[in-house]
C-alpha cells in the first residue's frame, strides 16, 4: 500500500516536472553578444521583467511608460517594445520571468562561450565534442536538429543535413561525439551545440560559432588563374625579348656587316695605293703598314709563281 503510494507520488512529481520544464522556454546567447528577451510589451497594459532566484526586478512597463530599474540601466535597454541585454555576461545566466497583464512566462537563459570555426563552401569540418556515459547524442544548429544518434543505433539527421553529417562509429565507447559535416553550405553558418542525454547535458566543448561560410574556394582558383596569367605574360615577355634579339641580329647581318665589309674593302683599296704612292699613309692607316709589307711578300709570290 505504502509502496504504490510512493510510486504514485513519484509519478505525479515526474509529471509535474515535465509540465514545468515544458512551460519553461530555454534559450541561449553567446558571451558578449546582445540578447533580446521574447516578451513584447506593446501587447500588455502592464508588464514586468524579473530574474529569479532570488527575484530581482529588472524593468517595468505601465502603458506607455517603460522603466528600467536602478542598477540595471547600463546592462539593459528598451528596444522596440522589448527588453534588450546589451552584452551577455556569464552571470546573466539563469531564469527570467516576463509577466504581461498578470500572466507569467519563464525563460531559462544560458550564456555560452563559443569556439570560432571557419569554413568555405564544400569544405569538410569536424566539430569536436566529448562526453562519457552518453546514451544519445544531439547536435543542434541554432535551435534546429542537425543529428540525433542513439546507442540503439537509430540515426535521425535534421532537415538539409541528410547524408552529410556523421559521428565516429564507436562514439559511445570512446566518448568522442565529434560531428563531421561534409560539403559545407552557406546556410550552415550559425551556432552549433553538442548535447547528450536527450539534450539535458552539455558535451565538452559545447558550442561552436561558424559565423561565416566563405565563398567556394574561388579565391585560390583565381590565384592559380593569376599565377597562370603571370606565367603567360612572363613567357610573352621572354618571347618578345628573343624576337627583339633575333631582329637585332638580322639587322646587324643585313646593315652593319656589309658596311664592315666595305670598310674592310677600303683598306684593300688603299692596299695598292700606298704601293703606288709609297708615302701617302695617314696615321690611321698605319695599321695597313703590315699588309703593305706583306704585300711585298705577296709581290714576291707572283714572282715565285712566275716559273709556272
Ligand X SMILES: *[C@@H]1O[C@H](CO)[C@@H](O)[C@H](O)[C@H]1NC(C)=O
- Closest distance of CB 63 from ligand X, Å: 12
Cβ-based nearer residue to ligand X, 83 or 184: 83
Instruction: Choose which of 21, 40, 63, 211 interacts with ligand X (CB under 6 A).
Output: 40
Q: 74 phi and psi, to 5 degrees? A: -85, -30
Q: 183: alpha, beta or left, given left = phi > 0 and alpha = psi -120 to 50? A: left
CB 126 within 8 A of CB 180: yes
Q: Which stretch binds ligand X (CB under 6 A): 2-10, 38-46, 135-143, 243-251?
A: 38-46
Binding status of residue 77 toward ligand X by CB under 6 A: no
CB 151 within 8 A of CB 244: no
- Closest distance of CB 178 from ligand X, Å: 37
Instruction: Choose which of 9, 43, 249, 253 interacts with ligand X (CB under 6 A).
Output: 43
Binding status of residue 38 toward ligand X by CB under 6 A: no
- Closest distance of CB 42 from ligand X, Å: 4
Cβ-based nearer residue to ligand X, 40 or 229: 40
Binding status of residue 82 toward ligand X by CB under 6 A: yes
DSSP string across the chain: -HHHHHHHHHHHHHHHHHHHHHHSEEEEEETT--EE-S--GGG-SEEEEEEETTTEEEEEEETTEEEEPTT-TTTEEEETTEEEESS--GGG-EEEEEEETTEEEEEEEEEE--EE--EETT--EEE--B-SS-SEEEEEETTEEEEEEETTS-EEEPTT-TTSEE--TTHHHH-B--EEE-S--GGG-EEEEEEETTTTEEEEEEEEEE--EEPSSHHHHHHHHHHHHHHHHHHHHHHHHHHHHHHHHHHIIIIIHHHHHHHHHHHHHHHHHHHHHSS---GGGGGGHHHHHHHHHHHHHHHHHTT-
Mask for 189-218, x = binds ligand X (CB under 6 A): ------------------------------
- Closest distance of CB 54 from ligand X, Å: 30
Of 255-274, which residues contact ligand X (CB under 6 A)? none
In the complex, residue closest to ligand X by CB: 40
Instruction: Choose which of 6, 17, 42, 233 interacts with ligand X (CB under 6 A).
Output: 42
Q: Report strand pairing: 119-120 vs 213-214.
A: parallel
Cβ-based nearer residue to ligand X, 35 or 172: 35
Cα separation, 75 vs 36, whole angstroms: 12
- Give the binding-site size for ligand X (rule: CB under 6 A): 6
Instruction: Choose which of 81, 86, 106, 201 interacts with ligand X (CB under 6 A).
Output: 81
Q: Which stretch binds ligand X (CB under 6 A): 37-45, 64-72, 115-123, 226-234?
A: 37-45
- Closest distance of CB 22 from ligand X, Å: 23
Binding status of residue 105 toward ligand X by CB under 6 A: no
Cβ-based nearer residue to ligand X, 82 or 202: 82
Of 106-165, which residues contact ligand X (CB under 6 A)? none
- Closest distance of CB 49 from ligand X, Å: 15
Binding status of residue 80 toward ligand X by CB under 6 A: yes
Which positions touch ligand X (CB under 6 A)?
40, 42-43, 80-82
Amino acid at each position: 500500500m505504502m509502496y504504490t503510494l510512493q510510486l504514485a507520488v513519484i509519478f505525479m512529481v515526474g509529471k509535474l516536472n515535465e509540465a514545468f520544464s515544458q512551460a519553461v522556454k530555454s534559450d541561449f546567447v553567446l558571451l558578449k553578444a546582445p540578447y533580446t528577451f521574447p516578451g513584447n510589451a506593446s501587447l500588455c497594459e502592464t508588464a514586468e521583467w524579473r530574474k529569479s532566484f532570488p527575484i530581482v526586478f529588472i524593468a517595468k512597463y505601465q502603458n506607455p511608460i517603460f522603466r528600467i530599474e536602478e542598477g540595471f540601466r547600463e546592462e539593459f535597454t528598451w528596444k522596440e517594445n522589448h527588453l534588450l541585454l546589451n552584452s551577455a555576461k556569464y552571470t546573466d545566466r539563469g531564469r527570467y520571468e516576463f509577466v504581461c497583464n498578470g500572466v507569467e512566462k519563464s525563460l531559462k537563459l544560458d550564456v555560452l562561450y563559443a569556439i570560432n570555426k571557419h569554413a568555405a563552401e564544400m569544405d569538410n569540418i569536424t566539430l569536436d565534442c566529448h562526453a562519457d556515459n552518453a546514451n544519445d547524442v544531439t547536435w543542434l544548429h541554432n535551435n534546429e536538429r542537425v543529428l540525433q544518434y542513439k546507442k540503439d543505433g537509430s540515426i535521425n539527421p535534421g532537415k538539409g543535413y541528410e547524408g552529410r553529417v556523421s559521428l565516429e562509429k564507436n562514439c559511445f565507447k570512446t566518448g568522442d561525439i565529434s560531428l563531421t559535416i561534409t560539403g559545407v553550405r552557406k546556410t550552415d553558418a550559425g551556432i552549433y551545440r553538442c548535447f547528450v542525454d536527450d539534450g539535458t547535458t552539455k558535451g565538452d566543448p559545447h558550442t561552436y560559432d561558424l559565423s561565416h561560410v566563405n565563398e567556394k574556394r574561388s579565391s585560390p582558383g583565381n590565384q592559380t588563374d593569376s599565377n597562370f596569367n603571370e606565367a603567360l605574360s612572363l613567357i610573352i615577355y621572354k618571347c618578345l625579348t628573343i624576337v627583339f634579339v633575333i631582329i637585332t641580329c638580322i639587322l646587324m647581318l643585313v646593315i652593319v656587316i656589309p658596311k664592315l665589309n666595305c670598310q674592310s674593302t677600303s683598306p684593300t683599296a688603299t692596299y695598292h695605293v700606298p704601293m703606288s704612292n709609297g708615302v701617302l699613309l695617314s696615321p690611321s692607316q698605319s695599321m695597313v703598314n703590315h699588309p703593305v709589307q706583306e704585300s711585298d711578300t705577296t709581290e714576291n709570290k707572283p714572282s715565285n709563281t712566275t716559273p709556272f
